Amino acid sequence: MRAVRAEWTKLWTAPATAWLPLAAVFATAGLSALVGAAATPGSTACADGCDPARLALSGVYLGQLALVALAVVAAAGEYRHGLAATTLLAVPRRLVAFTAKAVAVTAAAVPAAALAVAASLAATRPPLPPGQVVRAGAGTAGYLVLVALLALGVAATLRRTSAALGAVLALLYLAPVATRFVTDERWRHWVERATPAPDGPAALAVWTAVALAAGAATVTLRDP
C-alpha cells in the first residue's frame, strides 16, 4: 500500500498526467455528443442504419488517446528522465513497484472511464432499453480501463514514450483498418476477432494480459 500511495502521488503531481483523466472524459463525451447530433435518423450517417449504442459511445475512439498517454507517461516517463532506478531504490521489490504502478493507473482510469461513458450516454440518450444501455456502458468503460493497462504494459516493455505510443495506437487504430484488406472471408473473421475493439473486449483482454506480463518481466529482469 505504501508503494501504491507513492505511485498515486507521482501520477497526480506530474503536470503531464494530472489533466489526462479529465481530458478523456471531455473528449469522449464531446465527440459522442457531436456524432449523436449529426447521425439523426434519415441523415447521411444513418443511410445504412444506425447502431444506437455504438453511436452513443463513439467518443471512446478519441477519449482513449488520453488514457493511453496517461499510462505510457506513467510507465516510460521515468526512463526518459532517469528516475526508474530511484523508484527501485525506494521500492526494491520490482514486481511490487510495477504492480503498484498498475494499481495507480487503474485507480485513475476507472473513474475517468465511468464518467466519460455516463456523460456520453446522458448527452446522446440512445433509444434503447435500460438494461442494454447499462451493458453497453459497462462494456465500454471496461474497454477504456483495459486500454490503459495495455498501454502501461507496452510502455514498461519498450521503455520509450514515442515507441510505446506508436505501438499502442497502431494496434488500436491501424490494425482494424488492415483487416479490411484481408480478402479471404474466413481469415478476415479470425483477424477481426483477434483485433481489440470496444464491441469485442475478449481480444483486448488477451492483449492486455500479454502486455502486462511482458512489462512485469522487463521490469523484473532488465537493468533499469
> Taking the domains of the chain in order of start, what are their residue ranges?
2-221
Q: Among 25-34, 129-138, 183-192, name the one with the lowest average pLDDT.
A: 183-192
pLDDT in tens, 49-91: 567 778 888 899 999 999 999 999 999 888 877 777 888 888 8
pLDDT in tens, 116-164: 999 988 888 877 788 888 888 999 999 999 999 999 999 999 999 999 9
pLDDT (average), residues 82-107: 90
Residue 4 CA to residue 118 CA, distance in Å, equals 27
The C-alpha cell at 220 is 523484473
For 48-62, b where at least 16 C-beta lie within 10 A, e where not — what string?
Answer: eebebbbbbbbbbbb
* pLDDT on residue 177: 75
